[in-house]
């Protein structure tokens, strides 16, 4: 019997369709997402004020950089949840994750080893997981009454397991520093203090504070 991991790998988005677009260079502006019938949004500037640094971005800006809203729309469809419930429980979690990982790569020289790679990879995995969950009756082997009663519970389990499967990477695999324009030297980011968006809020032009990856 195939493991859950093997089943997820079988439905990964890059096996069936093009993966999420990603910035080709370490520091560049992303192409804006286009919506039918509307003008394109302006590109999000990701380059920091110093060479080799990146801006701290909001969740909305980060999703625009990796073209993530398209994937979130597909995740919503696969979740089979109401729009109200999805917006209440899942969207805030996705936004919080975005601001926690920022534009970190998923790896140094393996898959998604580019700016924004970790966020792109995570959204792809969440979509793959929700697609897998949508095709299975959980818990397996139970009577239909139990399956129906626990339907949404298992949807939440699969969603958050996929969303958080790499959440420790910014803490264990990366050394991230941040600074503001008025600081003499950068500070090491401590993830336990909150996301970079939270750490830098309340300071003048905090959204322009860059951060650096020391892989």
Boundaries of every domain in the chain: 4-33+41-213
Taking 50 as the threshold, does the pLDDT of residue 59 lie above it? Answer: yes
Q: In this prediction, what percent of the chain has a pLDDT beyond 90?
A: 47
Q: What is d(CA 70, CA 143) in angstroms, rounded to the nearest whole number?
A: 36
Could you tell me how many helices (H) and strands (E) the chain has, helices first? Answer: 11, 4
pLDDT, tens digit, 9 for 90 and up, residues 109-152: 777 878 899 999 999 999 999 999 999 999 999 999 999 999 99
Would you state the structure tokens that stand for residue 36, as one six-digit string? 């039918």
Is the pLDDT assigned to residue 81 strictly greater than 80? yes
Please list, in sequence order, all residues whose beta carbon lies within 8 angstroms of the beta carbon of residue 199, skipping any fewer than 6 positions away: 178, 189, 193
CB environment 66-91: b (16+ within 10 A), e (fewer)? bbbebbbebbbebbebeeeebeeebe
In this structure, what token pair is assigned to residue 179?
């600074």
CA 168 to chain centre: 13
- Phi, then psi, of 56 in degrees rounded to 5: -80, 125
Q: Is the pLDDT of residue 36 over 90?
A: no
pLDDT recorded at residue 213: 52
Q: Find the mean pLDDT for residues 190-194.
A: 88
What does the pLDDT read at residue 21?
Answer: 39
Half-sphere exposure of 160 (CA within 13 A, CB side): 12
Distance CA 124, CA 53 (A): 26
When pLDDT is cut at 50, 70 and 90, the band that residue 91 belongs to is very high
Q: Region 67-90: what's the mean pLDDT?
A: 97
> For all residues of the chain together, what is the average pLDDT?
79
Q: Is 4-33+41-213 in CATH node 1.10.3210?
A: yes
């Amino acid at each position: 019997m195939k493991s859950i991991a093997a089943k997820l790998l079988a439905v990964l988005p890059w096996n069936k369709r093009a993966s999420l677009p990603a910035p080709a260079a370490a520091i560049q502006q992303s192409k804006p997402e286009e919506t039918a019938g509307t003008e394109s949004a302006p590109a999000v500037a990701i380059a920091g004020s110093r060479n080799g640094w990146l801006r701290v971005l909001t969740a909305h800006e980060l999703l625009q950089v990796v073209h993530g809203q398209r994937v979130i729309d597909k995740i919503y469809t696969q979740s089979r949840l109401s729009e109200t419930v999805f917006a209440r429980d899942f969207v805030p979690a996705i936004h919080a994750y975005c601001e926690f990982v920022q534009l970190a790569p998923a790896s140094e020289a393996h898959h998604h080893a580019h700016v924004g790679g970790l966020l792109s990879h995570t959204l792809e995995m969440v979509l793959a997981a929700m697609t897998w969950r949508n095709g299975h009756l959980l818990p397996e082997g139970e009577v239909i009454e139990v399956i129906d009663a626990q339907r949404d519970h298992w949807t939440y389990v699969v969603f958050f397991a996929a969303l958080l499967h790499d959440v420790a990477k910014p803490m264990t695999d990366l050394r991230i520093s941040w600074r503001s324009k008025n600081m003499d030297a950068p500070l090491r980011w401590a993830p336990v203090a909150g996301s970079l968006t939270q750490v830098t809020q309340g300071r003048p032009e905090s959204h322009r504070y860059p951060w650096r990856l020391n892989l």
